[in-house]
Structure 1
């Protein structure tokens, strides 16, 4: 009998060893493949088992979570979804996450290790901290002013605080409601198909992911290069610029919309946007100096994130002088996002210094304790302070006496630059209307806001489209909204 008990005991030990080996094999060697298997719903169930943290604008949550009572329990909700969609993105149980919902996902989902107060205890209990919150830099009034200003038109607005780089507004139209994609049923699938098939591309963030020819707004960069390089030393001296201007090495003649551009001074040419003057200035400055100036402002930077990625704005500074002339007036291959052009205006407003733009002020635990803060952002000097001062003077002339009068704000100092960018084969496309600007209130020590507006507006009559007529009023509304808001403390 003892022998049989011993054999049974050995057999049980063998079974136990086999079980342990099999468990170790599954957990250690096969765990990753099982964990990543699409059929494994446990990660998804765990992910949606608790409410997601919120994204805040001006102290108010613009996101939320709804208890569905289903297996994937909590579903994302959005307040003013279309207004903030270019910032929040979406958090979908079917299609993943975009924009802040993606870049700050670990904080919002509660999986960031920084959220855990007692990490060893959480590891032992397999508990997960509550989702944290993301506090944005947005100015709610400016965001609303930009969205309402664009209305039904296709376009984008970006506004930044020159001294800090805080993004105050980021709007893209047409927009969409991210809540339509939150669930995992047929309604979310239908919304996804409809939004992706829409030729107006409502899910495209035109403020940071779409580049446009900046047209005459790029003349701010060309003027900075001309002043810094010494090609122009006197704002009021004649520039020896023919009208029309034959592009070097070609038979193409460049003309102007404005009159009296022949040999115009930089002051007059900037106020009335003389193409011939700035095309020739770009050639006189040279490809290398123009390239360095553009890169100083932020062009050709593939790594800019705010924290989600921004499409690179480009200035290729072609060796061909005819192409360089066109690039220097924001045409040919020159491309820019609205955020990039807001950075250009901000650099002028901030004494020639540009701050890296950012959208997240801080992240917090659900109780409000700070987890991380943006802090001071890197700064670079893109032009001489004296050059920036002269450009501020030129931009003020545009608003007071030139093509940007629709952006004037009583009691405030406003500088701007209009632009009407041609595009399409043979420039047959409806022009894009641009306006870049900055504003300083009567009681402000420094400019409070820099704005860039682009309006595609394919439904407008070609003759009705201009930066001053179409885009400048939108910029004015955004600047007024910021100037009415008490200044935030600088980091």
Structure 2
């Protein structure tokens, strides 16, 4: 009898050991597979059981959370949703997260370990931290001015602080209300299908995710390359430039919209936006030199995060001499985001230095304690300081007596460059109107804002679409808002 009891006891111990091994296998070895199984709703239920942290602009929340009383209890809400959508993105129970909502999701959802009061605290207590907040660099008046300035037109605006790289405005129109995607019901599904089927692509963040031919605004880069290379030493000396200019190795003749471009000085060519002068300068600088200059400003860089990714702006290093002439005036394969062109204007305003742009000032715990701060940002020398000084002079001339007069602000120094970019087969597409600029108040020691504005094609005659006419007033409104004019 005793022998049978011992066998039964041994068998029970064996069963217990097998049970423990299996429990360890399920909870440790197979835990990741179960955690990512779409049939398991517990992570989603836990995620939405508490309010999400907020995104702040100038100390005010532009996001919130609404208690639905359902299993996925809290839904995201947005204040001025369409205006701030290019900054916040959306946080949807059904369709995930985008932009800041995605890049800072760990903080906003409370999943970031840095939010815990003590290291490994949550691992022991199985608690979930309250969502943290994200403090942005956005200037609310500048954001509003850009959004209202674009109005019902398709386009984008990016504004940054030259000395620091702080992003002051990111606007893209047409826009959408991200709050309508927050839930998981039929309304969210209908909104999702409508937005994705809209040919105007309202969910596309044109300020950072779309590249355009920059047109004549790229002449800032070409002028910087020519000045740095010593091809131009006197801004007022005549250049050896034909009008029209025959692109090297071809019979294609490049012309100008303005008169007086033959042998024009760099100052005259910049104010009149002479294609022939800058195409010739680009060819003289050469493909290697012009590519290097563009890359110092940030072109061909696919690593930029603000903290969400930015589409890389491109300059083709393999262009032949004829293509290089077109590239030098912002055509051919040259493409840029509005944020990139704001960086170009900021480099001029900041003595030739490009500060890496950023959108998040700091992240904080629910109680206000700082989790992480932006700190100092990397800097790149795009041109010589003396070259930047001369370009500031050229850009102020454009606003004072050239094509950018619509950007002038009383009591401030404003520099700018217009651009009207052709595109499409045979340049048949409706042109893009560009304006890049910077502004410095009378009492400021340095420029306070750099802006790039682009307005896409409108139902108007091609001759009515100009950077000075369409984009410059938008940029002016943004600069005036930052300078509090």
Is 2:351 aligned against 1:351?
yes
**1:24-423 residue pairs with structure 2 within 5 A?**
24-423=24-423
**Superposed displacement of residue 127, structure 1:** 0.4
For structure 1, the 5+ residue unaligned runs are: 486-491
Matches of 2:93 and 2:293, distance apart in 1: 45
**Superposed displacement of residue 7, structure 1:** 4.5
Matches of 2:394 and 2:95, distance apart in 1: 48
Matches of 1:208 and 1:319, distance apart in 2: 25
**Superposed displacement of residue 4, structure 1:** 5.5
Matches of 1:319 and 1:177, distance apart in 2: 42
Matches of 1:447 and 1:64, distance apart in 2: 35
Matches of 2:362 and 2:25, distance apart in 1: 43
Matches of 1:251 and 1:130, distance apart in 2: 67
Matches of 1:457 and 1:243, distance apart in 2: 28
**Superposed displacement of residue 460, structure 1:** 2.8
Counterpart secondary structure, 1:435: strand
Deviations, residues 371-424 of structure 1 (Å, cap 9, x unaligned): 111011111111111110000000000000000000000000000000000000
CA contact (8 A) 1:343 1:354 kept: yes
Give RMSD over aligned pairs: 1.2
Matches of 1:51 and 1:136, distance apart in 2: 19
Matches of 1:262 and 1:452, distance apart in 2: 29
**Superposed displacement of residue 24, structure 1:** 1.6
CA contact (8 A) 1:317 1:327 kept: no
For structure 2, the 5+ residue unaligned runs are: none
**Superposed displacement of residue 11, structure 1:** 3.7
Matches of 1:169 and 1:152, distance apart in 2: 18
TM-score between both structures, scaled by the size of structure 1: 0.97
Matches of 2:461 and 2:52, distance apart in 1: 46
**Superposed displacement of residue 119, structure 1:** 2.9
Matches of 1:461 and 1:181, distance apart in 2: 37
Matches of 2:438 and 2:331, distance apart in 1: 23
Matches of 2:239 and 2:433, distance apart in 1: 27
Matches of 2:232 and 2:470, distance apart in 1: 31
Matches of 1:369 and 1:350, distance apart in 2: 33
Greater shift in the superposed pair: 216-225 or 17-26: 17-26
Matches of 1:364 and 1:334, distance apart in 2: 40
- The total of aligned residue pairs comes to 485
**Superposed displacement of residue 208, structure 1:** 0.3
**1:434-453 residue pairs with structure 2 within 5 A?**
434-453=434-453
